[in-house]
Amino acid sequence: MSSWSANESLSLYNVKRWGAGYFGIADQGDVTVRDPSTGAEVSFAHIRELTREKGLELPILIRFPHILKDRVAQLVKSFARAIEYEDYQGQFTCVYPIKVNQQREVVEGIIAGQRQALNGYTGLEAGSKPELLAVLALAEPGYSTIVCNGYKDEDYIRLALMGEKLGHKVYIVLEKASELNDVLAIAKELDVSPRIGVRARLATVGKGNWQDSGGLKSKFGLSASEILKTIDILKDNQQTQAFQLLHFHLGSQIANIQDIQVGLREAACFYAQLRLMGLPVEVADVGGGLGIDYEGTASRSICSMNYTLDEYAKRVVQAFKEVSIEHDLPQPDIFSESGRAVTAHHAVLVTNVIGIECQEVGSIETPSAACHPLLTRINQNYLDAIDRERSLSEIYHDLISYNQDLNQAFTHGDLSLQDRAKGEQILKATALYLMKTLNPSRRPHREILDELNEQMADKLFANFSLFQSLPDVWGIGQVFPILPLRDLDKAPSRRGVIRDITCDSDGRIDHYVDGEGLETTLPYPPMEVANALLGFFLVGAYQEILGDLHNLFGDTDAANIIFDEDGNARVSVSQRGDTLAKVLQYVNFDPQRLLSALSQQVTEAQLGQDTKTEFLQWLQRSLEDTTYLDQPKI
């Protein structure tokens, strides 16, 4: 046990694989974040001190703007390498779909990264009127590409065309055929030449949690016949020159590069056919689909990916180069809307453990001769395990059977509460002994160990709401890397499962990154609740936006952490989360009316005046408190 090192924890939690060079573990066991461009590094324990000094409380969402910039740079560099290697004639633009995370600090961080990587130019995508307003306000006329997706009414279209008149390059992507007439009419009214794109509904489906966002079952996009009708309308209005962009979307978080390749070939054929019909399509927008490796397994698992950024870029470029050469066509510019790949790494949820329910065994009382016969059999099974009288597999099978018998005997009234408690203690002691004795290198033993680890796992109660901070865990079974932020130079001698503080049995995490795969329990070193911190990584995409108010747990506190010129970390932005008053207003409770009603109850209660005054003052203060639990100053 004493020989355990932080480097072994790196392997155990697979940090090098999913961390993409941004996260590590220091020799003393603290989890760290680093800036790959400068080598600057800081521990999350120190970050917690910095945020505490700003008055921020746990749970807290930590954002790292330098990671946003680096993710943009890595994506752009991958396409630049592919374009150079293939001698491709088109250009690449990284377009950020702000639906992935609309927080202003996040969008501004991505824009800053785009300007560095794209020589001052930016690319943004909007899918609604409020998103388009935000995009137009942040984009710089003359240097911005804006893609407008989603269903559109006249106001949305008018706003997009006004953006074109303001000097932005705005592409209006038709999601349904009926939108075209409105685009042409409003463009004529505003005296502006529209840039029209068409979203083709591909037959190809990228397998995964979001596979229905692509393929024939997709909510969006035009079929082949609808595209032909759209072209006829453009011809009738002498507006074929407006058809400049082909858009398609294979899905989100596509794990298998072969699925991407098949979809790219289909999309490239759409491009070729449109150009051969004389339409001046200049841009192929490949949409989303680029994944990240949440597990670090580099596999086809839905929470992983079996390809790299470089391979993804290479496949995209090759698909359109090959079809263009085959048909002697211009090679189109390429847009990608890779929001998840850009944002996921930059945010980490940090919170404290408020309690640990350990599976411990106290003193075991040997059953007396007068006790229920079932207790004698349960105890003999335990002794057989210690004395190795029978195979450990057989001991385990009897353990399962006796546990069922114990419950049935109690339910039928044949067993007292005291005897049930004695039986449970012996069964638990047997299970813990098996866990120490079974050999994980033997497959039959490994299967039993997996079951015992899950059944006997500690419960770690963490100060957060799964539904607010990690909604995809509950909604689609998404996996996020989770690990303790301290003491990882110590052996992970315990295994646990994480539970949140909501009054909902679904507020739990069932899968954890563990070595080269997933486990149903989290390995962790012994920890003191007063100092225990957990980190939930790769939560920068969708989670902050999709979170809900289950049990009225609101937004957490948040902070942006940057490195200064000397490599020191500091808080650049600090944000308080929702207060009790704010979340009550969300559900139409007026805090002042609520306070008045409680004040009336206090006034009428049989309490001393000092008690009444103190209680009312406390109520007033509590409305400005966080919705989460108070915690030690860690």
Q: Say how far apart CA 109 and CA 98 lie, in whole Å.
A: 12
Least confident range from 46-50, 212-216, 411-415, 480-484: namely: 212-216
Q: How many CB atoms lie within 10 A of CB 565?
A: 7
Is 275:330 a contact under the CB 8 Å cutoff? yes
Cβ–Cβ < 8 Å for 529, 486 = no
pLDDT band of residue 593 (cuts 50, 70, 90) is: very high
Task: Answer for the pair 243, 280: CB distance below 8 angstroms, yes or no.
Answer: yes
CA 308, CA 510: separation in Å to the nearest integer? 27
CA 148 to centroid of chain Cα atoms? 25
What per-residue confidence (pLDDT) applies to 221? 87
pTM for the whole thing?
A: 0.93
Q: What is the CATH number of domain 88-337?
A: 3.20.20.10
> By the 8 A CB rule, do 296 and 481 touch?
yes
How confident is the model at residue 207, as a pLDDT? 58
In contact, 129 and 154? CB cutoff 8 Å = no
pLDDT of residue 365: 81
Write out the DSSP string of 399-419. HHHHHHHHHHHHHTT-S-HHH
Does domain 373-454 match CATH 3.30.750.80?
Answer: no
Alpha-carbon span 463 to 140, nearest angstrom = 41
Is the distance from CB of 229 to CB of 177 less than 8 angstroms? yes
Report pLDDT for 370: 81
Active site residue 371: no
Residue 215 pLDDT > 50, yes or no?
no
* Beta-strand runs (E) in 15-68: 23-25, 31-34, 41-43, 60-63
pLDDT for res 211: 47
pLDDT digits (tens, 9 = 90+) for 543-565: 999 999 999 999 999 999 999 99
CATH 3.20.20.10 in the chain, residues? Answer: 88-337
Is pLDDT at 371 greater than 90 in this prediction? no
- Say what percent of the chain tops pLDDT 70: 97
Residue 214: is its pLDDT beyond 60?
no
Name the percent of the chain lying above pLDDT 90: 87
What are 17-48's pLDDT values in tens digits?
999 999 999 999 999 999 999 999 999 999 99
Reported confidence tier of residue 171, pLDDT bands at 50, 70, 90: very high
Domain(s) labelled CATH 1.20.58.930 in the chain stretch across 373-454
Mean pLDDT across 490-514: 95
CA dihedral for 254, 259, 265, 269, sign (positive or negative) = negative
End-to-end CA distance of the chain: 27
Tokens 């929470």 locate to: 303
Instruction: Provide the residue type at 329 as one letter.
Output: L
pLDDT value for 1:
47
Arithmetic mean of pLDDT over the chain = 94
